[in-house]
Amino acid sequence: MILGLDGHQPGGKLVAGLRERAIGGCVLTLRYRRPENLRATALELAGEYEGSTRMVDPCSHYITYPAQALGQYAEYPFTFSGLNRRGLRDLELEDYATQSLDYQNQLRVSALVAPGVPLETFDDFRSELTLEAFDAAHKVQQASNSLRELPLLHSLSFRESALSSLKSTSEYLDLLTQVPGDGFYLTVSRDVKTDSQWGDPNRAGRLSNLLYLVYTLSLNGYRVVYSYSDIVGLLTLAVGGSDIAAGWFSTTRQLHCDDIGQSRTGGRQPRKLYASRPLLSWLPLSTDVAALLAAGMTDDIVDSVGYDHRIRNEGAGTEWRRRTETLHFWHVMSALAAEITGPPTVEERVGLLESLIARAIATDSAIEGRRVRMEKRPSHLSTWIQALQSFRVAIAEGE
């Protein structure tokens, strides 16, 4: 399922996404909303879209950052910020979990997301502390009649570099797969700022290890929500992940420490982007989409989901606001998610995804053959293929 991830300037995008069934639910975050606004929004969504998936990200990946950099997050009385090593060790884990979960429960969420401790690696002191936090959250949930009625996901938040080694990922998975609870809410803090699709070929191994982690948690019966995701999140769905959460700004399609503390205003407006289902890529509307339409390649890059009809009918000059861009992106992601998760086994799903990627690569080659000049080629596609191949080897050998 595709979940809309909260961000700056929400402007009714989440409600519109639910209304149009572009998303199956949403994740609100403490970072972007004042407490009274978060409460009102959560209760409104619960009232109008009761059957939807609704979660609140406790943003525990922020607890080591200074409060002044964290927007509205620090306004919530149960959050922590600026914690150093000692501060982390001194955390009262049960109190931390109790306050966060009780607060979420008041917002009529459909699933609880327990706070955790962000990890640098899978084998340092934080990794042990995180397991203790998960146990504490489960204990808190089980002790409360009302909390017990809701599924409990644990925040598993880590630096991308933690995925460097399959061995340490595997060893940590041996422990994670004994954690009580219903699932995990994953956030990966990326080491690079402009690679929301994990397209860097040097990082294919890390992407493969991320897929291995999602696959293993899913194999063990956990629900896995991969948050701060871009189109690359489809790979996690193919290997068994249940949901991906993505928003409208690039900062909610990739988590990067440089984005923390970033002002919501200032700077130039981001360019209008179009999510192409056949190409599994974002394309700048005014340049690449315009050039491809002019080259007569409409059917190669434009499908018939979401707002594709506008591009087909009105061309690249159509009115394409941030809201349209986001809704179309969610529609494309939902359509792809439904297609990819159709087959019953991971092997079949990965095979299907590989065929979609191969088709996108073939389209890219055709574009090159037509000598259409593009600002940005979808280079992430070959990295995805590489990562999926490594993933297949990893699950066959188990290490």
Give contact residues for another protein (rule: CB under 8 A): 170, 173-178, 216, 219-221, 395, 398-399
Least Å from the CB of residue 173 to another protein: 4
Between residues 221 and 369, which has the closer beta carbon with respect to another protein? 221
Residue whose C-alpha is closest to residue 102's, from 72, 141, 151, 76: 141
Residue whose C-alpha is closest to residue 1's, from 337, 340, 350: 337
Are 189 and 159 in contact, with CB atoms under 8 Å apart?
yes
Between residues 22 and 179, which has the closer beta carbon with respect to another protein? 179
Are 307 and 327 in contact, with CB atoms under 8 Å apart?
yes
Least Å from the CB of residue 292 to another protein: 44
Between residues 23 and 173, which has the closer beta carbon with respect to another protein? 173
Angle at 45 between CA 40 and CA 51, to 5 degrees: 150
Are 296 and 275 in contact, with CB atoms under 8 Å apart?
no
Between residues 181 and 247, which has the closer beta carbon with respect to another protein? 181
CA dist 190 to 88, 194, 205, 259, 317, Å? Answer: 22, 9, 14, 11, 34
Least Å from the CB of residue 391 to another protein: 13
Between residues 115 and 241, which has the closer beta carbon with respect to another protein? 241
Least Å from the CB of residue 181 to another protein: 11
Between residues 166 and 225, which has the closer beta carbon with respect to another protein? 166
Least Å from the CB of residue 396 to another protein: 9
Between residues 51 and 221, which has the closer beta carbon with respect to another protein? 221
Least Å from the CB of residue 20 to another protein: 37
Q: How far apart are CA 248 and CA 240, in angstroms?
A: 25
Between residues 131 and 273, which has the closer beta carbon with respect to another protein? 131
Give me the helices (H) in the chain, please.
Answer: 13-19, 35-48, 85-89, 93-106, 125-142, 145-148, 166-176, 204-219, 233-238, 290-294, 298-301, 308-314, 322-340, 346-369, 380-397
CA dist 318 to 247, 249, 273, 322, Å? Answer: 22, 20, 12, 13
Least Å from the CB of residue 127 to another protein: 12
Least Å from the CB of residue 266 to another protein: 46
Q: What is the DSSP string of 42-102?
A: HHHHHHH-TTSEEEEE--GGGTTS-GGGSGGGGGSTT---S--HHHHHT--HHHHHHHHHH
Between residues 36 and 399, which has the closer beta carbon with respect to another protein? 399
Q: How far apart are CA 9 and CA 210, in angstroms?
A: 30
Amino acid found at 300: D
Least Å from the CB of residue 98 to another protein: 24
Residues 6+ apart with CB under 8 A from 134: 114, 116, 154, 179, 180, 181
